[in-house]
A and B are shown apart, each in its own frame.
Chain A
């Protein structure tokens, strides 16, 4: 079936370095993607989103890249800080199908080493 998944379950990064978290999706009809951050004991928190007609979008210290050719999404975090330690989920929606629910990937745990 169609799914959203992640390449790596864990990622350890030195404080100050850049982090790259990857996500693969298989539904070619997906037209909207979101990255969520989930800290321990908390619900998912929106980080950044991107439409399928874009290939890059930048926020504060975060950049999302979308490669529709290979159905790949990535989240780049610049100058990673200890507060960035969390599980990161990509999620997709097919807006053309109406009010579709978020489909989450399994998550990547980011650990920042001080």
Chain B
């Protein structure tokens, strides 16, 4: 069964450092998403990506964040200068079409980011 894969599973970084979280969406999907979940809190939308550009982003997704699809398979989230409050689980998701009626978004296992 096709699945969304994320690497690494756990990333520990020093405050101020840059991190890149990697995702391989399901191959025939066209829409890609990043969400994050701070420990004990709800899953929060960060950004959606379609046709090689951001289609929507939340207030959380400020200038420190960027996304890229460098090739035909990877979808990355970069945080330029990490802050302590960036510590969270980051989930990548993909969907065949726009999420909505009868269109399921598939989530990866997540990358746990710990900023120290």
Interface of A toward B, CB cutoff 8 Å: 32, 38, 41-46, 49, 51, 89, 91, 93, 95, 98-107
Write the residues of chain B forming the contact surface with A, with a CB cutoff of 8 angstroms: 4, 31, 33, 35, 41-45, 48, 50, 55-56, 58, 91, 93, 98-102, 104-110
Question: How many contacts between A and B, using CB within 8 angstroms?
Answer: 65
| Chain B residues in 8 Å Cβ range of A46 | 104-106
Expressed in whole angstroms, the Cα–Cα distance for A93 and B31 within the complex equals: 15
CB distance from A55 to the nearest CB of B (A): 16
Name the residue of chain A whose CB is nearest to the CB of B41: A106
Whether B41 lies near A101 (C-beta < 8 A) is no
User: Which of A43, A99, A102, A107 makes the CB contact (< 8 A) with B110?
Assistant: A43
From A43, A51, A104, A105, name the one whose CB has the most chain B CB atoms within 10 angstroms.
A43
